[in-house]
Amino acid sequence: MEHQNASVSVDGNSVAEAYRQRQEATPRATAHLVKSGGSYQPVAWETIHREVLGIAKGFFSMGLQKGDRVAIMAHTEPRWNILDIALISCGFVTVPVYPSSTPEDAAFVLENSEAKLLFVGDSKLLAKVGEIFKLSGKSIPLVTLKDEAISSGALKASGYAQWAFQTVDETTTQTWKSYSEKVEPTDLASIVYTSGTTGLPKGAMLTQYNFASALRMVVDEIDLTADDTLMTFLPLSHILGRVDSLAPIFAGIIGAYAEDINSISRNIQEVRPTILISVPRIYEKIYDKIRTDVDAGSPIKQNIFAWAQTVGRQVARLRSEKEPIPFTLQLKFQVADRMVFSKIRAKLGGKIKLTASGGAPLAQDLCEFFHACGVKILEGYGLTETLGPIFVNRPDNYRFGTVGIPIGTAQVKIADDGEILLRGPQVFKGYFGNPQATEAAFSEDGWFKTGDIGEIDSRGFLKITDRKKELIVTAGGKNIAPQKLENLLKLSPFISNAMAFGDKKKYITALVTLNEENVLGWAKTHELSDMSFHDLVEHPKIRELIDGELAEANKKLASFESVKKVAILPTDWTPESGELTPSLKVKRKVVVSRYQDYLNRLY
């Protein structure tokens, strides 16, 4: 297949218009890289469009009308994106459902959105749909993302191939075009439900113009081009993953899909992407792996790494503040880069131009670490309601400890109580079927109330202090941001998750879960290799290890915010077990409720 460069820009005011421009202008350009037969294969826009037409034909035959909602409950894969394009390009509305959602939350999303059809990833998720339908008391038609039809009990989902690969003709093409050309920028494109950290999910209504505005701004601000390859692995049910997956339409970049979350490291080596967009947890895991490898090395290797890090951080901080780098420091950095940093970059494929982080706060230490290695992590800030990033650090204009400056025409102001208020073309139009929540989300003069506390520094960079509802106020009246403490604890390779606690208490405590792989590795070198992980959790040597990690974290905290005690929990938290949202944020109310006995013993 002849390759066509996708450098032609698109400027549609809707995703539907932008997609028409893309597939007409560069049909032979590569849209996706997909693992098939043991290696990554290019998939052109014209191939994707044939599937889009087949899926659209299925929608037409069902009698779907403009504005009808269709849900997708599946893990990240190219077909998720193709379905999304098929829906949005026709004027239908995509409703993502997290595969890790509880049956109760998923049932609520399907009922609240009044979805007419559900695409489900595989037979395991189809079994879950049975529970969902029982809760809701009704069912809707099902289609799987697998080629062939699948069954679970009385449920049957027709196969993806029956839709996407059916015969299409000129009539289908013209019908699709007719639907697509009637799509207006103000039309709804998606209802994306918030993670539900504080109760039932709320469905943020995002228009075609919201998507087009946000994506154009992201493409322009971080200079994405047709020469870039983006590694796609975030959940497409999450708004950051969604921006990631739709960016190729606007930028002409290639979206390379990871096989699954456990294959990311290997897939990065195979694809050698130039761009990574992720949540902090992924960067924490990369850091943990690097630190574990270094700790397992010789004392000489450890000393070289420590020296290189000191040099690299000095350079990174000077660059962040736009200050000159002394000549001797430049020379040291060149040596550190050859000996240490170039090897770390090679593990990330060797071609990384920049990485972006969002979805949750990124520890400043972690950001400095990667910058020191020559891997720029550009931290940003946004919410489902702002269609992802509305603030972002730039490749040539960044500041550690901040989430950057506004993108495009977005506006910000800080309320009297410190709450961040936002306005701009990417801000959502309200919550679906929930006028009370919509009214509460906006100020009287139309600013979106984020629920986050922040401040703007002298250079115009935004610093997030904390969630308005999550601030810890100690018995002594001190306001403490728990996420700052938690991020420092999670810098330890032995701590997987952490939650700080101490509202109305005399001192701060924390619940922590352990990184099983790293704890078992440590145990092997400390005469505990015959013990199971379950037994290690309660072993005095592990307690001593974690207390040491706590002491390291506390060195970077003021005395009033330092964590005085921690409880080590026996099992890690996951979205499936209910303590984390699908975007890996801690559900504080759930954790407090489940582990109240542990917390009580800390006071």
Q: What is the pLDDT of residues 488-506, one digit of tens each?
A: 999 999 999 999 999 888 8
Q: How confident is the model at residue 363 (pLDDT cuts 50, 70, 90)?
A: confident
pLDDT in tens, 271-301: 999 999 988 888 888 898 898 889 889 999 9
Question: Would you say residue 196 has pLDDT above 70?
Answer: no
What structural domains and CATH numbers belong to the chain?
15-278 (3.40.50.12780), 472-601 (3.30.300.30)
Say if CB 256 and CB 231 are below 8 A apart.
yes
Question: Would you say residue 4 has pLDDT above 90?
Answer: no
Question: Would you say residue 3 has pLDDT above 60?
Answer: no
| Number of helices followed by number of strands (H, E) in the chain | 22, 26
- Beta strands at 508-514 and 563-568: parallel, antiparallel or unpaired: parallel
Going by the DSSP 8-state scheme, the letter that residue 530 receives in this structure is T
pLDDT in tens, 95-110: 999 998 888 889 999 9
pLDDT score at 484:
86
Question: Would you say residue 585 has pLDDT above 90?
Answer: no
Q: How confident is the model at residue 1 (pLDDT cuts 50, 70, 90)?
A: very low
Question: Would you say residue 590 has pLDDT above 80?
Answer: yes
Beta-bridge partners for 205: 191
CA 30 from chain center: how many Å? Answer: 24
Across 349-353, 491-495, 582-586, least confident range = 582-586
The whole-chain average pLDDT of the chain stands at 92
pLDDT in tens, 216-240: 999 888 888 889 999 999 999 999 9
Average pLDDT value for residue range 437-448:
94
pLDDT in tens, 58-81: 999 999 999 999 999 999 999 999
Across 117-126, 250-259, 292-301, 428-437, least confident range = 292-301
pLDDT score at 445:
93
Half-sphere exposure of 320 (CA within 13 A, CB side): 26
Interior/surface letters 536-571, b for 16+ CB within 10 angstroms, e for the rest: bbebeebeebbeebbeebbeeeeeebbbeebbbbee
% residues pLDDT > 70 (the chain): 97
Separation CA 496–CA 121 (nearest Å): 28
Average pLDDT value for residue range 348-355:
91
Say if CB 453 and CB 470 are below 8 A apart.
no
pLDDT in tens, 447-477: 999 989 899 999 999 998 877 777 787 777 7
Separation CA 208–CA 188 (nearest Å): 6
Average pLDDT value for residue range 374-382:
92
pLDDT score at 279:
84
CA 540 from chain center: how many Å? Answer: 36
DSSP letters along 304-323, please? Answer: HHHHHHHHHHHHHHHHHTT-
